[in-house]
């Protein structure tokens, strides 16, 4: 099973490397609704706590602003995430995990999250490499449930 996880992680890193700003984006193979549903199901199946789904486009519409579909999903494993905050309290700015699902101008649906290595550098956390590696493996697994495969 460990080999499968590492293979999945290698695929994910190759397919969705973080940009210089630490944002990892991947195109979804599904609609907004199905992408969100699949992610929520996978999070629940992994026993991860789901905290909130914030429909940013609805909030914008309520304020009289047009915004393409955009929903922020917030979830995490307190036993894992709290480790980062114990290393540096400002890491609480990035925990729990936030995963954005949004639709671009062409109608494609994307997922985006902050790369965990980037978070570690941002907060100068050097004593939690194993935990950051686990978090990277988990988010790679979660986003793989919706990732569009690249044409060969």
* Out of 33-37, 109-113, 147-151, least confident range: 147-151
| Domain region containing 132 | 2-16+23-144
Domains in the chain, number: 1
Task: Measure the CA dihedral 121/122/125/130, to 10°.
Answer: -60
For the chain, report the end-to-end CA distance as a whole number of angstroms.
26
Residue 152 domain flag: no
Region 21-34: mean pLDDT is: 96
Residue 11 domain flag: yes
Question: Which domain CATH number covers 41?
Answer: 3.30.310.70
Residue 151 domain flag: no
Residue 150 domain flag: no
Region 65-78: mean pLDDT is: 97
Residue 149 domain flag: no
Q: What is the reported pLDDT for 108?
A: 97
Residue 75 domain flag: yes
Residue 30 domain flag: yes
Q: What is the pLDDT of residues 39-51, one digit of tens each?
A: 999 999 999 999 9
- Give CA–CA dist 151/47, Å, rounded: 33
User: For residue 150, is pLDDT > 80?
Assistant: no
């Amino acid at each position: 099973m460990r080999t499968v996880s590492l293979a999945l992680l290698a695929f994910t890193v190759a397919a969705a490397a973080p940009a210089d700003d630490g944002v990892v984006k991947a195109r979804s193979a599904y609609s907004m609704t199905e992408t969100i549903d699949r992610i929520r199901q996978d999070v629940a199946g992994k026993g991860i706590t789901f905290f909130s789904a914030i429909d940013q486009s609805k909030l914008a519409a309520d304020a009289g602003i047009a915004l393409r579909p955009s929903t922020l999903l917030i979830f995490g494993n307190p036993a894992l995430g709290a480790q980062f905050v114990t290393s540096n309290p400002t890491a609480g700015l990035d925990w729990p995990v936030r995963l954005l699902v949004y639709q671009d101008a062409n109608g494609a649906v994307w997922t985006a999250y902050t790369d965990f290595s980037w978070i570690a550098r941002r907060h100068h956390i050097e004593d939690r490499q194993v935990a950051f590696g686990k978090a990277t493996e988990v988010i790679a697994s979660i986003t793989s449930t919706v990732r569009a495969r690249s044409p060969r």
